[in-house]
């Protein structure tokens, strides 16, 4: 049953992917999308439509899907790790940590590039620095929250702590932005709006490889994740290496959230909303279903958000972050209200 | 051969040798004041270089003959056939030069229509004949790829352009225009020469620039003869910080050339000074004039933003001038589109404000006194 549901979700993803490819500022007839796409892949002399589809929309759609996979997996891992249904990369300030790393990378780009070139002979592009900064920032923040999580047992207190650390990271970003030049500030501001169109073909491997590796890595921890949900001591008594699972989740979430934030900006609410939505749809706590289902649903939601932010038929585009928040926030409220009424019904 | 002839030929040879560096030196570079670009005349075209912080950012070879595009030279570096047939621009600061060069009709796309004050361009954008691309940082790639202009003039350095490689693969060349890096007002105006070579209109641009330079220098000379050492305050605070043009910047340069004492020149900070309200208040007694207070049209509008503005001396003496006279008259304000590229007009306006006795009966183009 669950497998059929998953299969149906995959079909929905394919449909949403096709719709995403066919809609944009330039209108391309839906039925002609495959032929233009093929022209883009096979021919060197491309028409404008083929170029738009193959060179612009296709990498954008793939990026949206990868980000959906990464953020929803990151959210699921954090919820399992903290045993807290409200945990997520954005809520716990992990994205703020990544933002801090990116802000540092943008502001000190020239100095950092010179340093890496003179010290290691590495000629780095701005996006390499941003990726490194984001992963480092998110890792540090997550490690800090995890450190406190050993001392603080209350879920609410931990969430508040995460929020506070996120605020500190956010205020450091503001201070850095204050000292930046007008151009650096503008560059940072546009990055913070969020967008999936910042990953052309040549950069796609840089974002795809970490996400694919983390997803493959998670396959080895599915059972451990299930057992961890029953409590750390119980998991340990069943022979699960709690420490190793914890380390994997920490590293994986930092890489997933950091990679997405570096390229696409701090994308809000996908990480927290998708795992909940998946649990409601699939009525399960089994990570062997939750991880793939979360990934597919996350990809769907990111593609839908991207399609809406492109304002099809108009030459304007809306910030992606605004769209994911507009979809995600009401979804969380609905989930909370639903949980409240379910628990009242049970009582 | 008679000895006197040998001596004469030696003499001429020696003379030529001695004069060679002098002759070479007398060939003045095409660009005199701008620091962020250089143009060099090469065989049947131009070599164009742009710089940022003294580093070469972009080099393009502009060639008149299509056959040259297949040459070895063009395999080594970016080449473009001139004159351009079409292009896109992503900044209003380009518009004055493009309009003066009479090439606006070749434009296929521009940044945002709400920022345009040029009436012709505004109409074309409203009719949809010239497309809107949005801001350079989030440019609408689909529209850009569909229209495929030969060149996109942008303020973003190539390293900050995410889709640079994609654009180049499609034959669209992003051209970095760093006129905002110029500190010298005339250096800014000289960027018309930068645009002109893309349309093979260098001579026309040189004539336009020479006129601007001549007017600017004569106004500056006039101001220096009548300097009264007035002190000036610029802008209003934004989110608690008063951004003041730095002493080496464009605006401070024009203000000083207009014969004003720019007291913020004492600071040695970067490009734009960040001051608190308190720091400005401390110098209030020394201030004679207040210029460019955001987009306000009256003193009441200024007070509505912050009632503490009334504490400043220029507010009490009524010496507040803003650059939006056209808006007050119900027209579109072209100050930000024109004033930077035409420092002569800006200097004249400021001198009418500061030295009205020198321009009796002449009304400013942009400035008006707030009532």
Q: pLDDT tens, B32-42?
A: 899 999 999 99
Mark which of B208, B240, B273 sits at the end of a domain.
B208
Residue A213, domain member (yes or no): yes
Distance CA A246, CA A87 (A): 15
Question: A145, A92 in Cβ contact below 8 A?
Answer: yes
pLDDT band of B241, cuts 50, 70, 90? confident
DSSP state of B268: -
Structure confidence at residue B268 as a pLDDT band (50, 70, 90): low
Count up the domains in chain A and report the number. 1
B197 with B290, same domain?
no
pLDDT at B3 over 50: no
Residue among A33, A34, A12 at smallest CA distance from A24: A33
Return the percentage of chain B with pLDDT > 70, whole number: 90
- Residue B275 forms contact with A (CB below 8 Å): no
The answer to whether residue B93 sits within a structural domain is yes
| Contact status, residue B48 vs residue B56, Cβ threshold 8 Å | no
Q: Quick check: is B131 in a domain?
A: yes
| Same domain, residue pair B69 and B168 | yes
Q: Sign of dihedral through CA atoms A124, A128, A129, A130? A: positive
Number of domains chain B is built from: 2
What CATH number is associated with residue B178? Answer: 3.40.50.1980
Q: Kindly determine whether residue A181 and residue B270, on different chains, have CB atoms separated by under 8 Å.
A: yes
Contact B140 A51 (CB under 8 A): no
Alpha helices in chain B (DSSP H): 3-26, 72-76, 95-100, 119-127, 141-147, 164-169, 185-189, 191-198, 202-225, 250-257, 277-282, 299-305, 313-317, 325-328, 335-338, 343-354
Residue at A231 is within a domain: yes
Handedness of CA A153, A328, A33, A36 (dihedral sign): negative
Residue B16 lies in a domain: no
* C-alpha distance from A138 to closest chain B C-alpha (Å): 23
Query: Nearest CA to A165 among A133, A132, A192, A143?
Result: A143
Q: What is the ipTM of this complex?
A: 0.82
Residue B274 Cα, gap to closest chain A Cα (Å) = 9
Does the CB of B131 have a partner CB in chain A at under 8 Å? yes
Q: Residue B358 burial by CB count (10 A; 0-12/13-18/19+): exposed, middle or buried? A: middle
Of A26, A57, A126, the CB nearest to B143: A26
Kindly report the CATH number assigned to the domain that includes residue A270. 1.10.3470.10
Residues B59 and B147 in one domain: yes
B202 and B54 fall within a common domain:
yes
pTM for the model stands at 0.84
Half-sphere exposure of A202 (CA within 13 A, CB side): 10
Would B124 be classed as within a structural domain? Answer: yes
Query: What are the angstrom distances between the C-alpha of A232 and each of A149, A235, A275, B91, B295?
Result: 13, 5, 21, 58, 61
Find the domain containing A92 and state its range.
Answer: 2-342
pLDDT for residue A44 is more than 70: yes
Q: What is the pLDDT of residue B22?
A: 43
pLDDT score for B272: 73
Q: Is residue B156 helix, strand or coil? A: coil
Within this chain, do residues B76 and B203 fall inside the same structural domain, yes or no?
A: yes
For residue A342, the model assigns a pLDDT of 67
**Higher confidence at residue A228 or residue B152?**
B152
Domain that holds residue B78: 37-208
Does residue B246 form part of some domain?
yes
The reported pLDDT for the residue numbered B5 is: 40
**CB-CB: which of A125, A186, A315 is closest to B131?**
A315
- Look at B146 and A193 and tell me if their CB atoms are within 8 Å: no
Report if residue B168 sits inside a domain. yes
Residue from A130, A315, A316 whose CB has the most chain B CBs within 10 Å, to mutate:
A315
Tell me the average pLDDT of chain A: 85
In this complex, which of B132, B137, B140 lies closest to A187 when CB atoms are compared? B137
Q: Of B173, B208, B243, at which residue does a domain stop?
A: B208
- A2 CA: distance to closest CA in chain B (Å): 39
- What SS3 class is residue B231? strand
Over 70: is that where the pLDDT of A321 sits? yes
% of chain A surpassing 90 pLDDT: 29
B343, part of any domain: yes
Please tell me whether residue B44 adopts helix, strand or coil conformation.
coil
Q: Is residue A316 part of a domain?
A: yes
Asked, for residue B50, whether it belongs to a domain, the answer is yes
User: Where a domain ends, among B208, B235, B270?
Assistant: B208
Q: Answer yes or no: do B244 and B172 share one domain.
A: no
Q: How many CB pairs under 8 A join A and B?
A: 65
Residue B229 in this model has a pLDDT that exceeds 80 = no
Assigned domain for A128 exists? yes
pLDDT in tens, A202-246: 889 999 999 999 999 988 888 888 888 777 778 778 777 877 888
**Which pLDDT band, with edges at 50, 70 and 90, does B270 fall under?**
low
Chain A residues touching residue B165 (CB < 8 angstroms)? 200, 202
Decide if B142 and A186 are in contact by the 8 Å CB cutoff: no
Q: Does B141 touch chain A (CB under 8 A)?
A: yes
Shared domain check, B170 and B113: yes
- Point out the residue among A26, A125, A201 whose CB comes nearest to the CB of B142: A26
Give the residue with greater pLDDT, A247 vs A60: A60
Nearest to A200 among B146, B165, B270 (CB): B165
Res. A347 pLDDT band, cuts 50 70 90: very low
Per-residue pLDDT of B251-261, as tens digits, reads: 888 988 998 87
- Shared-domain flag, residues B125 and B185: yes
Q: Do B261 and B157 have their domain in common? A: no
> Is A347 a domain residue?
no
């Amino acid at each position: 049953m669950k497998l059929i549901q998953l299969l149906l979700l995959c079909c929905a993803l394919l449909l949403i992917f096709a719709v995403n490819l066919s809609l944009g500022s330039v209108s391309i007839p839906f039925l002609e999308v495959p032929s233009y796409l093929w022209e883009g892949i096979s021919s060197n002399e491309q028409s404008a439509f083929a170029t738009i589809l193959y060179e612009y929309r296709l990498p954008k759609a793939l990026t949206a899907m990868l980000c959906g996979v990464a953020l929803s997996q990151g959210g699921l891992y954090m919820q399992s790790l903290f045993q807290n249904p409200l945990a997520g990369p954005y809520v716990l300030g992990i994205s703020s940590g990544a933002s801090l790393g990116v802000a540092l990378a943008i502001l000190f780009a020239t100095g950092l590039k010179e340093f890496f070139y003179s010290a290691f002979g590495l000629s780095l592009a701005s996006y390499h620095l941003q990726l490194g900064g984001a992963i480092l920032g998110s890792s540090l923040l997550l490690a800090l929250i995890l450190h406190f999580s050993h001392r603080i047992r209350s879920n609410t207190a931990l969430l508040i702590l995460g929020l506070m650390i996120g605020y500190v990271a956010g205020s450091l970003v503001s201070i850095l932005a204050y000292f930046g030049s007008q151009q650096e500030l503008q560059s940072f501001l546009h990055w913070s709006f969020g967008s999936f169109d910042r990953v052309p073909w040549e950069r796609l491997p840089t974002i795809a490889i970490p996400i694919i590796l983390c997803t493959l890595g998670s396959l080895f921890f599915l059972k451990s994740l299930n057992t961890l949900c029953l409590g750390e001591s119980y998991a340990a008594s069943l022979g699960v290496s709690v420490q190793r699972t914890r380390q994997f989740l920490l590293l994986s979430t930092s890489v997933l959230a950091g990679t997405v934030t570096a390229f696409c900006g701090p994308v809000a609410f996908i990480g927290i909303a998708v795992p909940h939505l998946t649990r409601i749809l699939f009525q399960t706590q089994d990570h062997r279903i939750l991880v793939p289902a979360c990934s597919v649903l996350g990809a769907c939601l990111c593609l839908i958000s991207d399609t809406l932010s492109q304002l099809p038929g108009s030459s304007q585009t809306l910030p992606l972050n605004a769209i994911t928040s507009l979809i995600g926030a009401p979804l969380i409220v609905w989930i909370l209200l639903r949980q409240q009424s379910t628990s009242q019904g049970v009582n | 051969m008679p000895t006197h002839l040998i001596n004469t030929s030696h003499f001429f040879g020696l003379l030529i040798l001695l004069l060679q560096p002098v002759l070479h030196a007398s060939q003045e570079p095409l660009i005199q004041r701008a620091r962020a670009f250089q143009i060099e005349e090469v065989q049947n075209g131009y070599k164009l270089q742009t710089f940022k912080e003294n580093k070469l950012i972009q080099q393009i070879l502009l060639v008149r003959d299509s056959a040259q595009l297949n040459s070895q030279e063009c395999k080594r570096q970016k080449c473009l056939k001139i004159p351009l047939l079409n292009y896109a621009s992503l900044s209003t600061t380009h518009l004055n030069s493009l309009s003066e060069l009479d090439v606006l009709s070749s434009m296929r796309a521009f940044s945002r229509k709400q920022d345009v004050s040029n009436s012709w361009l505004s109409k074309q954008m409203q009719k949809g004949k010239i497309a809107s691309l949005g801001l350079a940082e989030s440019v609408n790639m689909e529209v850009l790829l569909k229209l495929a202009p030969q060149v996109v003039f942008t303020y973003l350095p190539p390293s900050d352009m995410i889709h640079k490689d994609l654009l180049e693969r499609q034959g669209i060349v992003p051209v970095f225009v760093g006129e905002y890096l110029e500190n010298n007002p005339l250096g800014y105006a000289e960027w018309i020469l930068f645009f002109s070579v893309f349309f093979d209109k260098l001579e026309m641009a040189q004539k336009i620039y020479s006129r601007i330079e001549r007017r600017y220098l004569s106004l500056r000379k006039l101001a220096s003869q009548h300097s009264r050492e007035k002190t000036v305050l610029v802008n209003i605070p934004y989110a608690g910080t008063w951004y003041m043009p730095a002493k080496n910047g464009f605006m401070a340069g024009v203000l000083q050339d207009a014969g004003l004492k720019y007291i913020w020149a004492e600071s040695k900070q970067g490009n734009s000074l960040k001051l608190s309200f308190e720091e400005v208040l401390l110098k209030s007694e020394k201030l004679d004039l207040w210029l460019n207070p955001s987009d306000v049209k009256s003193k009441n509008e200024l007070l509505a933003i912050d009632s503490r503005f009334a504490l400043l001396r220029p507010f009490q003496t009524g010496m507040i001038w803003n650059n939006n006279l056209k808006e007050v008259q119900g027209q579109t304000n072209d100050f930000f589109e024109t004033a930077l590229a035409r420092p002569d007009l800006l200097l004249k306006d400021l001198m009418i404000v500061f030295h009205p006795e020198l321009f009796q009966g002449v009304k400013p183009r942009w400035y008006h006194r707030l009532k």
